[in-house]
Amino acid sequence: MEASGAQTGVRTPRANPFFHRGSIRDRAYFFGRQRETRLLLNLVRNAQSVSVQGQRRIGKSSFVLHAANPLVLQAHGLSAERLCFISVDCQWRGDPTAGALWALLRQGLGRELKTRAQWDEPGGDDYRSDLYDLEDYLAKATQAGFRPIFVFDEFEAIATSRNLTPDFFSSLRRIVTEYPVAIITVTKAPLSMLSYSRESVLSSPFFNIFQSLSLGLFTAEETETMLLGLAEKGGLRFSQATLDFILDLAGGHPFLLQLAGFCAFEQIEGQADTLSAADYYLVRERFWATAAQHFEYYWSHLDDEARYALATLPLMSGSGNRVLEMLARECLIVRRGLRYDYFSSAFRDFVRTQKVPGLVNAGPFVVDHQQRAIMLDGRSLNLTKTEYTLFMYLLQRSGEVITYAELEENVWGDASSGDPERLKATIKHLRQTMGEHSDHIANVRGVGCMFQ
């Protein structure tokens, strides 16, 4: 008989409880969103249609699945037997016709009612059923006391479809008006923005019947509860240092928190229940291998103005800035006091590697020629005009040893005094301003200095 881990002293591998590959369907592994769940179900209770929107991988699909869970419905005083959630994943439907969508809704409702009330309605599983079939079915279902909730996940796919006319969206609105039915759309962009994607759909009143519900980043409390709760399911307890590390790495982004937690759990699994500095480095590298792909997606969907604002964030004023407010809604930055900051250190590091017109990246430094400003590790360096000129001359000649005489001439020009002490004092103050990065300006004894 095979010996157990306890008998042999070998640590038995534990299943990693962090989930980042798809929607979370097990209620026991869903954390956070209590306020949003309560709001959604209160709206659904009154047959109010809801537009759930949020950034990619922010947890929209998992959130709706959680709200539709029978135990969650019961906890909010709703009948799990009477509410029928019928979901359509629009992303996998290509460019469907109106008839195909009516059929999907009718078939979905039919399956729900066959399970709950043993109804055996004609129609089969083909796509020949149209709007009239659906309405006939809805009339019978609602008369029997059932409340259908139609969920359109990845609704953008049909909101922008060329196969669907304003008549389709008007018919959806009429269904909601005539029957105790609610619609939940799940999108990345607000419905108000989608309505402008096609001029022919703009006049449809469909987009005016929804209450908007935005999903943002987790709060600090939600973050800690999820990380500790999932780690405990795997038989571990993250230390406060590990919690702080994961929060700094992933911010309050649910998907990235799951990913960072997964990487930390894997690293801890092979050794003691705490992480060393070397372990943190490995966790960050593994996290980055997947997270960078998502950062690339976010970056690719920004215009030049938004990219510039992100790259120069330490210089930007947060009050009333339209671009910063948009980036905050996209969960890419967060307000800290009077200013904005990157939502996570990993995203901050990603932004620093991106090429933006008008900016120069040099290691930890970002130079904005337009504003004659220099940022270092996400903070603005408060330099005088002379110090800025000196820094830029050294940077442009990076790797070269420049004599003090040449520096004096190129920094002060005709105002050069030939006094080496003035230059040395300027270099000293510049290096002090650079803090722990002061070694980028190296003195070459008796000759000059260089930027390295």
376-433 confidence digits (pLDDT tens): 876 788 888 888 888 888 888 888 888 888 888 888 876 666 667 888 888 888 888 8
Same domain flag for 395 and 356: no
CA nearest neighbour of 253 among 212, 297, 210: 297
Unique residue bearing structure tokens 């940022």: 375
Q: How far is it, in rounded angstroms, from Cα 286 to Cα 50?
A: 37
Give the residue, 435 or 19, on which the prediction is more confident. 435
Q: Are residues 41 and 185 in the same domain?
A: yes
* This prediction's pTM: 0.82
Residue 21, domain member (yes or no): no
Q: Are residues 257 and 308 in the same domain?
A: no
Evaluate whether residue 14 is within a structural domain. no
Least Cα distance to 62 among 147, 192, 148, 151 occurs for 151
Q: What is the DSSP letter of 13?
A: P
Q: Are residues 93 and 174 in the same domain?
A: yes
Task: Judge contact between 343 and 332, C-beta under 8 A.
Answer: yes
**Residue 290 domain flag:** yes
Q: Report how far apart, in Å, the C-alpha atoms of 30 and of each of 21, 55, 58, 258 are.
A: 14, 18, 13, 11
Q: Are residues 294 and 311 located together in one domain of the fold?
A: no
Which are the contacts of 428, defined by CB distance < 8 A and separation ≥ 6?
none
Which pair of structure tokens corresponds to residue 360? 């120069």
CATH number, position 157: 3.40.50.300
How many angstroms separate the CA atoms of 183 and 148, rounded?
9
What is the tens place of the pLDDT at every residue in 214-255?
999 999 999 999 999 999 998 888 889 999 999 999 999 999
Residue 286 and residue 184 share a domain:
no
Count structural domains, the chain.
Answer: 4
Does residue 397 belong to any structural domain of this protein? yes
In this prediction, residue 20 has a pLDDT band, given cuts at 50, 70 and 90, of low
C-alpha closest to that of 211 among 43, 404, 365, 451? 43
Query: Per this entry, what is the length of the chain?
Result: 452
Residue 1 counted as domain residue: no
263 plus 375 within the same structural domain: no
Residue 149 placed within a domain: yes
Enumerate the H helices of 144-211 as residue ranges: 156-159, 166-178, 191-194, 199-202
22 assigned to some structural domain:
no
The three-state secondary structure class of 80 is coil
Residues 42 and 125 in one domain: yes
Read off the pLDDT of residues 128-178 as tens digits, 9 standing for 90 and up. Answer: 558 888 888 898 888 888 999 999 998 988 887 888 888 888 888 899 999
CATH, residue 443: 1.10.10.10
Residue 362, domain member (yes or no): yes
The answer to whether residues 260 and 158 belong to one domain is no
Query: Where is the domain boundary, 380, 400, 419?
Result: 380
Q: Are residues 117 and 172 in the same domain?
A: yes
Q: Name the nearest CA neighbour of 422 among 392, 372, 386, 383.
A: 386
The DSSP secondary-structure symbol of 12 reads P
> Which of 330, 356, 380 is the endpoint of a domain?
380
pLDDT of 331 reads 94
Please tell me whether residues 58 and 140 are part of one structural domain: yes
Tokens in use for 276? 């060393």
Q: What pLDDT is stored for residue 275 in this prediction?
A: 77
List the domain range (segments joined by +) for residue 290.
220-300
Which residue in the block uniquely carries the two structure tokens 């008007």?
170
Query: Among residues 214, 233, 255, which one ends one of the domains?
Result: 214
SS3 at position 16: coil
Categorize the per-residue pLDDT at 200 as very low, low, confident or very high, splitting at 50, 70 and 90.
low
Please check whether residues 346 and 407 belong to one and the same domain. no
